[in-house]
Amino acid sequence: MTTQQRSNPVYRYVGGAAAAGITLLAAYYHDRAVFDEHREGIVCMRGYPLVGGLPDLIANKDKIHEWFTNEFKTSDVLTATMSVLGLPRHILTVDPNNVEHVLKGNFENYIKGPEFHNAMNQLFGDGIFNSNGRQWKYQRKTASHVFNVKNFRDQFTDVFVQEIEYMSEKIWNTAIEKDEPVDFHDIMFKFTLDSFILLGFGVQLNALGSKEKVPFAAAFDEAQKTTFQRFVNPFWKVTERLQKIAMPWKAGMNEHLNVVDTFAREVTEKRREEMARGEEKKDLLSRFMNARNADGEPLNNTELRDIVLNFVIAGRDTTAQALSWTFYLLLNHPRVEEKLVQEINEHITDDIMHDSPALYEVIKDMKYAHAVFYEVLRLYPSVPLNQKFALNDDVWPDGTHIRKGDYILWSPYSQGRNTQNWGPTANQFRPERWFTENGELKRESQGQWPAFHAGPRVCLGQNLATLEALVAIIFLLKRYKFQLVPNQNITYQVSLTLPMKDGMMVTVEKRE
């Protein structure tokens, strides 16, 4: 504006009116984002005039799970609303009944919404995590055929044992010989990646054999981080472009996607060649390559790419993280470790370790091992925060009025640490809480313990993950004694799942 314009009475008038208007708006929207409606009957999280919770969201972006946990710590309210400039209206709940209602009771009303889809689309496409309705259903049905008892007993257990034997030799025995510390978290990611790529797609990736991250895994991790940022940063399109301009040499989302797409394409092409040679497989990949999509058509390469990548995140990250947090907690709670080792020694002999069907059966009876795993996932759920979108108005069990178009956030992480849900010991690692008075294992309702989700979209790999984790825990604890390297800050990286930010360095000895 020039001086002449500014002194013009019309402009002065407009300027004054604008300032007065903003003041009025700020007074009216004093606790929430401008133009967000006040929501009667729902506690509103702290907000500033016109921008609402945006400053708090920015300030807490690296410890978002603690933020949400603390939000419900001091009050008896388990549901709150968040109004953030640039984001649609969110209702956040850690109330088990509400969670069960959204995921199960009124399943049809809550879908993965447009915000979810926009943020996730580039990486996940129309894969099972990112789709609704018919598109979701055919994938769920096709994949579910793979998860049958026979496969578990005869094939999956074998793959896990085979990979653990390789890991023992390659990583742990070598570390003992050389007396070198190892990043446990990194090794677990390699273990679950190798195992899942082998059992799902028939490819021997051998990440455990390479010192560095395999390029596919590195690109995949970066793409996931960016994807999560898109959820919490309303201005991601601009931010990402600016980053690219400021640091053009740094690989961005497109470069990472290129790497992961290439991987998925190579896996599928290899299988097509095998099928052309008449080799028959019945794994996840073959099931999908022989399946029909929601329109009754064979799947094209884009659809297969989406399926491969969705299953990799499902099968790799979650279980690797659960294993890492298990050992983190065990190493900090020697009493629990000792009790678990005792159960292992009572059930597992060297013979059983190499007879997969027998191993599979014995593991089912190891109650304390199961309790440990459930307890880890209560405190460190691999999917710590999740979102859905309301198609229609609804009323929740706690009386909260949901409106069409609201986004629902629920936080298994904060839910597990809430004393109203789990009593005064909510923050303690106590596998004993999973036993009834007469020593039976207790399974909580899906709403109370949503680590594996709930209702029709409950985790399809729940039994697979539990088996994989328990096989690994058993073999590792039976053979080795780990210790944390002192002076590390072990904490989570805010992402779609719950990785450790800087890994977890351990030293290892043979267990006598």
**Which residues carry a binding-site annotation for heme?**
459
Q: How many positions of this chain bind ligand HEM (CB under 6 A)?
A: 23
Residue 453 Rama label (left phi>0; alpha psi -120 to 50; beta): left
CB of 459 to ligand HEM, least distance (A): 3
At a CB cut-off of 8 Å and minimum separation 6, what does 267 contact?
197, 201, 203, 285, 308
Among 140, 241, 292, 403, binds ligand HEM (CB under 6 A): 140
Alpha-carbon distance of 479 to 344, in angstroms, equals 11
The edge-to-edge listing of strands for the beta sheet with 407-410 is: 43-44, 79-82, 90-93, 407-410, 386-390, 110-111
Q: Of the listed pieces 66-74, 368-376, 417-425, 487-495, which binds ligand NAG according to CB under 6 A?
A: 487-495
Which entry of ligand HEM, ligand NAG, none binds 119, CB below 5 to 8 A by partner kind? Answer: none
Q: Of the listed pieces 76-84, 142-150, 370-378, 486-494, which binds ligand NAG according to CB under 6 A?
A: 486-494
DSSP state of 179: T
Alpha-carbon distance of 97 to 76, in angstroms, equals 15
Decide whether 226 or 319 has the Cβ nearer to ligand HEM: 319
CB of 119 to ligand NAG, least distance (A): 20
Among 5, 302, 425, 462, binds ligand NAG (CB under 6 A): 302
Decide whether 47 or 461 has the Cβ nearer to ligand HEM: 461
> In 2-110, which ranges are continuous DSSP H helix?
3-7, 9-28, 54-59, 64-71, 96-100
CB of 135 to ligand NAG, least distance (A): 8
DSSP state of 171: I
Query: Is-contact 190 208, C-beta < 8 A?
Result: yes
Q: Using the rule CB under 6 A, is 74 a contact of ligand NAG?
A: no
Sign of CA dihedral 497, 261, 213, 459: positive
- List, as one string, the DSSP characters of 8-21: SHHHHHHHHHHHHH
Alpha-carbon distance of 143 to 192, in angstroms, equals 19
Which entry of ligand HEM, ligand NAG, none binds 303, CB below 5 to 8 A by partner kind? Answer: ligand NAG
Which entry of ligand HEM, ligand NAG, none binds 489, CB below 5 to 8 A by partner kind? Answer: ligand NAG
Among 83, 227, 318, 400, binds ligand HEM (CB under 6 A): 318
CB of 457 to ligand HEM, least distance (A): 4
Which entry of ligand NAG, ligand HEM, none binds 315, CB below 5 to 8 A by partner kind? Answer: ligand HEM
- Which residues carry a binding-site annotation? 459
Alpha-carbon distance of 389 to 405, in angstroms, equals 6
Alpha-carbon distance of 341 to 354, in angstroms, equals 19
Q: Of the listed pieces 55-63, 415-423, 446-454, 484-492, which binds ligand HEM according to CB under 6 A?
A: 446-454
β-strands 90-93, 79-82: how paired? antiparallel
CA distances from 194 to 264, 358, 466, 475 (A): 15, 23, 17, 17
Which entry of ligand NAG, ligand HEM, none binds 129, CB below 5 to 8 A by partner kind? Answer: ligand HEM
Q: Taking the mean position of all CA atoms in its chain, how far away is CA 392?
A: 27
Decide whether 83 or 446 has the Cβ nearer to ligand HEM: 446
Query: Is-contact 302 294, C-beta < 8 A?
Result: no
Q: 143: helix, coil or strand? A: helix
CB of 149 to ligand NAG, least distance (A): 33
Which neighbouring-strand residues pair with 407? 90, 389
Single out the residue of 512, 511, 495, 508 nearest to residue 172, CA to CA.
Answer: 508
Q: 400: helix, coil or strand? A: coil
Which entry of ligand HEM, ligand NAG, none binds 451, CB below 5 to 8 A by partner kind? Answer: ligand HEM
Decide whether 213 or 265 has the Cβ nearer to ligand NAG: 265
Q: Of the listed pieces 151-159, 233-241, 316-324, 417-425, which binds ligand HEM according to CB under 6 A?
A: 316-324
Q: Using the rule CB under 6 A, is 182 a contact of ligand HEM?
A: no
Q: Taking the mean position of all CA atoms in its chain, how far away is CA 187?
A: 18
CB of 193 to ligand HEM, least distance (A): 11
Q: Show the binding pattern over residues 98-137: x = contacts ligand HEM (CB under 6 A), - = does not.
A: ------------------------------xx--------
Q: Using the rule CB under 6 A, is 320 a contact of ligand HEM?
A: no
Q: Show the binding pattern over residues 203-242: x = contacts ligand HEM (CB under 6 A), - = does not.
A: ----------------------------------------
Q: Using the rule CB under 6 A, is 438 a contact of ligand NAG?
A: no
Single out the residue of 371, 369, 457, 466 nearest to residue 156, CA to CA.
Answer: 466
Decide whether 116 or 396 has the Cβ nearer to ligand HEM: 116
Query: Is-contact 495 399, C-beta < 8 A?
Result: no
Q: Using the rule CB under 6 A, is 300 a contact of ligand NAG?
A: yes
Residues that bind ligand HEM (CB under 6 A): 128-129, 140, 143, 311, 314-315, 318-319, 322, 377, 382-383, 386, 451-453, 457, 459-461, 464-465
Residues that bind ligand NAG (CB under 6 A): 293, 300, 302-303, 487-489
